[in-house]
Amino acid sequence: MPKKYHIASKTAPPRENPIGKYATVEFRENCAGSCRECVKKKCVSRVFEENYQHVIFMEEPEYRYTCQSCFRCVQECTNAIFSRVIDPAYRTLGDDYWRADILNRTWYQAHTGNVPVSGSGYRGPFSGHGFDSMWTDMSEIIRPTRDGIHGREYINTCIELSRRPERLEFDENMNLVTDVPPLLEIPLPALMQQPDFGVLSPDVLLSMVRATHELGTMMFIQAEDFTEALKPFAKHLIPCLTQENAIEFIKNNPAFRMIELAYTPGIEDLIKQLRDVNSALFIAVGIPLRKNASLIALEMTHAGADTLHFYADHHGNELNTAKPRFLKEMIREIHLFLVEKHVRHIINLVFSGGIAMPEHWAKAIICGADGVTVDDALLIAMECNLCHRCQENLPCPVKLETVNPDWGSQRIINLMGAWRNQLLEVMGAMGICEARRLRGEVGRSLWFEDLERESFGPIFGERKV
């Protein structure tokens, strides 16, 4: 039996004192200093990991994003000198989509490799924009064998990036006569992607690439950023090329297993030329996620591409339109269009943009994707707080340019390990043991729009958007 895929997490503490929701307020002059056990040491979430001798150390590291809001520390302080307040800096983190709580959870997972659990429970809305209006069916959660994390049942998260034959043909002796193309399989339904903003120093890129190599997946990278330091990892990189530089780049760098071509009309001829240069080369086509994406997908499927890679914006929205649709609607539209044209089973669909949490992996696959890419979350794992100062040529507050690749790659590995564990939990609760089986399985999901229309539509009519 083949060895089970496993992501080895290892604690990678933050370099900077991370911003959490709650900051500490202490009136230390009133501290008795004689308590047998300070309330900080009793913290079950270990927020004050190295902060027990608080009278001696005035600059203590506090992992504030681990706080579960139980406020036991406030209640049990004997002299009532200790309190927790919302940190003003927390309110400035991220934006409307990449919210402060998402950044906090990402930092925690990159630090520990653990699944974040809130002792106070989920207190947010049960519906919202985008993926928040979609829920996964957990009807199989009662089965005791559905436990992919602890190994009682093997749940496969592999996906393919290679083209599949449309049909298999056999001769009269039942020997396979179809020319089956080579298989390119990765162990996660997620690829890494070089972000298009941020401090992308050589060490930051090397951190991402090394993590990609350790995870066994692939990473999309700009061709101009491919350097000598990245050559040992070429088999796990997908350079993004254009019609102008593709053939020359491949001739000069034959170690790549896969490339991506930016879509332009008439690209079919280039795909054929690249196959002549390297018949074993896997080819993806990068397509902006806009109104005509379905038609381009059909065109590129017939052109012989292995994978279609669609780009949404950073919030997962459709491009070049006044009223953009969200990623889940666009995935569903493209998937069903290719199903209708009887070609969905031979092509792979990968989507970028707005993948901020592990639940987005499962929800995107349910909508019809084969896989997704992780981009901005790679920077966040290395403590980026999405302040976008770098886009204004201002210094990075967390000094990303000084990242040690050993530390940076481990943070990304920890994050992907925690995300995969959550995917295993979701799939196990749905009773699905194969990520490829989850593709397009909308019967394993609930959509707020459908439920509202079915439940309240007959009474109140359709909602006016």
Residue 345 binned pLDDT confidence (cut-offs 50, 70, 90):
very high
Contact present, 381 and 110 (Cβ < 8 Å) = yes
Same structural domain, 278 and 405:
yes
Distance CA 363, CA 361 (A): 6
Please report the pLDDT score of residue 28 as a whole number.
Answer: 66
Please report the pLDDT score of residue 175 as a whole number.
Answer: 87
Residue 165's Cβ-side half-sphere holds a number of Cα atoms within 13 Å equal to 11
State the average pLDDT over residues 174-188: 87
Of 181, 289, 186, the C-alpha closest to 238 is 186
Burial call 414-452: b when 16+ CB within 10 Å, e when fewer: bbbbbbbbbbbbbbbbbebbebeebbbebebbebeeeee
Please report the pLDDT score of residue 220 as a whole number.
Answer: 97
Please report the pLDDT score of residue 52 as a whole number.
Answer: 43
Q: Is residue 103 part of a domain?
A: no
Tell me: the pLDDT tens digits for 221-239?
999 999 999 999 999 999 9
Please report the pLDDT score of residue 148 as a whole number.
Answer: 57
Q: Is residue 418 part of a domain?
A: yes
Answer yes or no: is pLDDT of 317 > 50.
Answer: yes
- Give every CB contact of residue 388 below 8 A, 6+ residues apart in sequence: 197
Please report the pLDDT score of residue 54 as a whole number.
Answer: 42
Residue 115 binned pLDDT confidence (cut-offs 50, 70, 90):
confident
Better-predicted residue by pLDDT, 46 or 370: 370
State the average pLDDT over residues 242-259: 92
State the average pLDDT over residues 323-352: 95
Answer yes or no: is pLDDT of 411 > 60.
Answer: yes
Tell me: the pLDDT tens digits for 348-378?
999 999 999 999 999 999 999 999 999 999 9
Q: Is residue 255 part of a domain?
A: yes
Same structural domain, 327 and 180:
yes
Please report the pLDDT score of residue 56 as a whole number.
Answer: 43
Q: Is residue 112 part of a domain?
A: no
Mean of the per-residue pLDDT values for the chain?
86
Residue 50 binned pLDDT confidence (cut-offs 50, 70, 90):
low
Give the chain's domain count: 2
In angstroms, how far apart are the furthest CA atoms of the chain?
91
User: 392 — phi, psi (to 5°)?
Assistant: -110, 15
> Within 10 Å of residue 168's Cβ, how many Cβ atoms?
9
Highest mean pLDDT among 22-31, 158-167, 293-302: 293-302
Of 63-72, 86-95, 314-323, 411-420, the one with minimum mean pLDDT is 63-72
Highest mean pLDDT among 11-15, 117-121, 414-418: 414-418
Burial call 185-204: b when 16+ CB within 10 Å, e when fewer: ebbbbbbbbbbeebbbeebb
User: 63 — phi, psi (to 5°)?
Assistant: -90, 75
Of 373, 447, 460, the C-alpha closest to 416 is 373
Same structural domain, 401 and 279:
yes
Same structural domain, 169 and 43:
no
Give the residue numbers spanning the domain of 366: 159-452
Q: What is the pTM of this model?
A: 0.90
Tell me: the pLDDT tens digits for 89-109?
888 888 899 999 899 999 999
Please report the pLDDT score of residue 340 as a whole number.
Answer: 96
Answer yes or no: is pLDDT of 174 > 80.
Answer: yes
Q: What is the CATH number of the domain that holds 54?
A: 3.30.70
Same structural domain, 251 and 394:
yes
Answer yes or no: is pLDDT of 37 > 80.
Answer: no
| Opening angle at CA 228, ends 223 and 233, nearest 5 | 75
Domain boundary among the residues 92, 108, 131 is at 92
Please report the pLDDT score of residue 121 as a whole number.
Answer: 60
Same structural domain, 317 and 423:
yes
Contact present, 73 and 40 (Cβ < 8 Å) = yes
Q: What is the CATH number of the domain that holds 441?
A: 3.20.20.70
